[in-house]
Structures are given as C-alpha cells and as structure tokens.
Chains A and B, each alone.
Chain A
Amino acid sequence: MKATMLALEGVGFDYPGLVVIDGLDLTVAEGELLVCVGPSGCGKSTLLSLLGGHAAPTRGTITRNGQSRTIYQDGGLFPWLTVRENIEGGLPRGFAPAERTKKIAEWLEITRLGEFADTYPHQLSGGMRQRCELARALAAETDILLLDEPFSALDYQTRTRMRRELVATLAERPRTVVFVTHDIEEAVQLGDRIVVLGSRPTSVRRVLELPIPRPRQPAAPGVAEAEQAIMDELGLS
C-alpha cells in the first residue's frame, strides 16, 4: 500500500451565493498520476487551488503530505526574468551556487531550452513557455505537482508533444501528480486514474483505473474504451 499524498474528505467550497464544490472525497497515492476531467466551469481550477493550499475549503478537510508546485495554463512565468532566472527561482533554497548552476543547466537541457536560457518569456513560443514552467516547477523537487490545464493554450501538435515530454520527464523523476483538464483525449493519454467530475457543484461522477503503460497510442487496447466511457459519463455520446 502506497502512502497517501493528498486526501480530501467531504470537501466543499462556496463563493458567496454559489456552491462550487460539495461533498468531494478524493485520495491521491504517492507517485500516482491522477487526472481530473470535467466540463469547463465545473470547478476544476478551484479544486486545484484547494489542493495547492491557495484557497481554504469552506467545509471538510484536506490533508497534504508534502510541498506542491502548480503549473498554470499560461502566464505563470515571471516576465521580468529570463528563462534561466525563472528556473532558478524554482530551485529550493540551500544549494551552493555551483550546485544551482548545475541544476539549472540540467533542467535547461531536459526541457531543450538551453539555447533560450537568456531569453525573456514573451519572446518564446507558447510551447517553450510551458516547458519553462515545467522546468521551474520540477526543479523545486517537491513531492507534489499540480497542473491546471497546462497545455490547453497550445496548438494540437505542440500539445501532443508536450504530453509525451511530460510522461518522459515524470518517468525519470517521479512525482505525485494531479492534472486537471477538460480534454478527454489528454486525460486518457496520461492518467493512472481518471476522475470524471460533474458540473457545479463539483462531485466525482466516476473513477476509471487505467493500468496501461505510457506513452499510450490512441488505438492501444483500453484507450479508446476509456475515452468512450468518459464521453458517456459526460453525456457527450
């Protein structure tokens, strides 16, 4: 039995006059890649804010065993810093300067941003920016990684490539991941477990286990079926 990294018990979140999340139970095990998929406006981002500790639940309890970093859809990089400086900002404190330089170089290489180390975010393409966000978040060496539609602002081909890169990077440096998306294909490509969320107030409609090795081909056994199951659940078929 793996350790539980994140646990939500009877969690609810309200804005004045609006129940966004209600009665949500969810646990995430160590090293698991959990994908939450649901229609837009279903409270997915709110869920991630709660998991990251950026918002407090109105009801229920949240247990988080470890530090987390969040990657956003767009605009999370500091525009006044170069790629190198942004990644450096992600590093945990306490490394000696030489060690820091080495770690930054490593992440620049993993995310293929070496050439753009001294470039500012606004001078990069959307895909490069998200790679830099990924590098900054992973460089922090936290146990938990939260991703809020990180590839949704990218074009289809870049998005597909980024998913594969995420999978490859996580294979090398495992983390507990909660990935939120509205993209069903993306969910099925990535998740060890997929939680299908219903619209407001958010609650779990269905949980799918997907013990299929990654990277997954669209035609691999189980993949298309899972997609169909999610579509059915969301009333899209």
Chain B
Amino acid sequence: MFPLLTGLLILVAWWALYAAGAFPIGTVPHPWEVVLAFRDELASGRLIADTIASLYRVAWGFLGAMVFAVPLGLVVGRSAATRSALLPWINFFRSLSPIAWIPFAIIWFGIGDPPAIFIIFIATFFQITLATAAAAAAVPRIYYRVAEDMELSATAKLFAITLPAILPQLVTAFRVAIGVAWMVVVAAEMIAVRSGLGFLIVDARNGLRMDLVVCGMITIGAIGIGLDLLFSRLARIPSVRWGFDR
C-alpha cells in the first residue's frame, strides 16, 4: 500500500511543479504526455518489441556468462594454484566498465544483437566467476570429510557437496548480476544497436520526445524490479533457503 502512496505523491508533485511552470519548456514532459506516449507505443507494438529485444539480449548474455563463469569459478575457488594465477586478472576485468568494451564489440560483432549480447556477457561473467570462486573457497572442510567417509567420487563431491553448498551465494550473485546486465543492456543499445529500450531512449531524445524518454525509463525501471523479484524468488527454494534463514 505504502509504495503506491509514495508513487502517487511523486506523481502529484511532478504534476504540480509542471503546472506551476517550474520546468523550462522542453526539459520535463507533462505526466499526461507520458501516459499518451505509453498508449501510442503500446498500440504501435514498438514498446513491447523493444522490451523483448532488450530481454532477449540480456537472457543470452547472462545465460552464456552463467554457463562459463560457474565452472571457472569452481576451479578458481577450489584450486589454490589457479586462484593465484587468475584471480588478479578476473578482478582486473571485473573492475573494467563493460561500456569500455563497446568499441571492440562493434568492431568484432558489427551492429545488432551480437555486440549487445557480448557486452552483457562481459558485464556479468567476471562478477559471477568471482562470486562462485569466493563461495567455493569457503565451503566448510567438514563437508568434504563427511564425503570422504561416504567414499564419494570427485564428481559426486562436486554435485552433491560443492554445488549445493554454494547455491545460496550463487543465487545472490545471479540476482546482483542480472541487475547489472539490465543496466548495461540499455547503455549498449544506445550505441551498438538500433532496437531495444536503450535505443528507444536515444531515438526519442533525437526527436526531442522527452515524454517518450520518460516512457522508456519507466519501462526499464519496472522490468528491472521484475527481474530482481524473479531472482529473489529463487532464495525461497527449500534447498536454498538454509543459506538465508540461518
């Protein structure tokens, strides 16, 4: 109830300030213009198409990062030699803004989905690797001793001990990473692509359609919250909950 109320308050304040002439002409749209922009964009199908385009890129980039980052993170976390060899470099690339990769992304992959997917991959891969490595390195030794008593094979230890033991931290890492991916896709689409919510915003700005810019911003924020909610649900899975309940 409260969130709706504060939302309403913000809307009223925006409306009132606009009516009072607080914003120079063309700097902030009227709330009603934004509503109309939403109506037009939904009717033309462009908003939905752009949203799907953005989500598609995030999904592939994120999935790709997950598939490669978790195994690499496990190796880095469980092997001291690999850790000392790779960790500084993983940290280096993690600290490098994914946006800095855009020139290479365009030169290597051209224009369209591939460069955007590549940027998402870069933005999440190093983060997930680092989180997986940290979690894998911190699995209590006692679990492996019990596993030795049970005479589990190395493969069984990986799937029956290490993976379930780090799952809660993985869920948290994925949640953080998907948030980053969603922020980065917008930036990538502003430069490397001609569709998606990021492109919608640049395109709207070029046409001085600030109402459309706000429409895009609201959509991006709402979907970001939706993604976060979706991933936070993963923490409720019974075999994951122990990591959050204790």
Listed in ascending order, the chain A residues whose CB lies under 8 Å from chain B are 49, 52-54, 67-70, 72, 75-76, 78-81, 89-90, 120-123, 140
Contacts and interface: CB of A to CB of B under 8 A. Distances in A.
B140 A68 contact: no
B164 interface: yes
B239 A81 contact: yes
A78 B152 CA distance: 14
A69 B151 CA distance: 10
Interface stretch (B28-36, B142-150, B184-192): B142-150
23 contacts: A52-B145, A52-B149, A54-B145, A54-B148, A67-B149, A68-B149, A70-B145, A70-B149, A75-B140, A75-B142, A76-B145, A76-B146, A78-B143, A78-B165, A79-B242, A80-B164, A80-B165, A80-B239, A80-B240, A81-B164, A90-B150, A120-B241, A140-B149
A63 B242 CA distance: 39
Contacts of A70: 145-146, 149
A122 B245 contact: yes
Contacts, number: 49
B76 interface: no
A80 B246 CA distance: 12
Interface string B214-246: 000000000000000000000000111111011
B161 interface: yes
A162 B195 CA distance: 67
B142 A80 contact: no
A70 B239 CA distance: 24
A140 B151 CA distance: 11
Nearest to B238: A120
A122 B246 contact: yes
Nearest to B165: A80
B150 A89 contact: yes
Contacts of B150: 89-90, 140
B170 interface: no
Contacts of B212: none
Contacts of B243: 79
The 6 closest A-B CB pairs, nearest first, are A80-B164, A79-B242, A80-B239, A122-B246, A69-B149, A122-B242
A120 B243 CA distance: 11
Contacts of B145: 49, 52, 54, 70, 72, 76
Interface in B144-196: 145-146, 148-150, 160-161, 164-165, 167
A69 B150 CA distance: 8
A213 B148 CA distance: 34
Contacts of B240: 80
